[in-house]
Amino acid sequence: MEIKDLGHIVFFVRDLKRSVHFYRDVLGFRLLGNEMPGAAAFVSASGRTHHELLLIDVGADAPRPPAGRRAGFYHVGLKIGDTIEELKAAIADLEREGVQIVGMSDHTVSKSVYLLDPDGNEIEIYVDADPAIWRNNPSAVMTPTKPLRL
């Protein structure tokens, strides 16, 4: 078997309307349609496939993801561009929307901002550094993380 692409991610959400607002209006995904009105929503960032993210409503009483180190899902990374200016503009947009930013990192090959979606799932938005860094030195991806200073 050979994996050709990362196809999609599925999140259980406690309030579908709130999550659609976050992923569509804050992060810029496009709403593709509902599987069942009020129960699930398909969204896409690129339009390259039928969906990249599926949001399934599980109700307000569903527990949030546990905090801290644990086995399982940690975060999903979303590339938003290639320049620090794009990252700074995204941070300003997130702050205007009241989105909780939980970290900022310089990974040498990319510059990242970490935030929480309405259900506490961690999302990384990032811009790539010069691709020559990791193409010329693939081990650059292993460089220790540094604080991101903007």
Q: Give 91-104 pLDDT, tens digit per residue.
A: 999 999 999 999 99
In the chain, where the domains are located: 9-57, 75-147
| pLDDT mean across residues, the chain | 91
How far is the C-alpha of 26 from the C-alpha of 29, rounded, in Å?
A: 8
Class of the CATH-defined domain 9-57: alpha beta
Domain 9-57 matches domain 75-147 at the CATH topology level: yes
* Tens-digit pLDDT profile for residues 35-61: 667 799 999 988 787 889 999 999 999
Q: Residue 39: its pLDDT value, please?
A: 92
Q: Parallel, antiparallel, or unpaired: how do β-strands 122-128 and 146-147 relate?
A: unpaired
Q: Catalogue the long-range contacts made by 63-70 (C-beta closer than 8 Å, 24 or more residues apart).
A: 64/14, 64/119, 64/120, 65/119, 65/120, 65/121, 67/120
The Cα diameter of the chain in Å comes to: 49
Identify the band that residue 73 occupies on the pLDDT scale cut at 50, 70 and 90: confident
How far is the C-alpha of 17 from the C-alpha of 70, rounded, in Å?
A: 28
CA-closest candidate to residue 123, choices 103, 150, 96: 103
CB atoms within 10 A of CB 90: 22
Of 3.40.30.10, 3.50.50.60, 3.10.180.10, 3.40.50.1100, the CATH number of 75-147 is 3.10.180.10
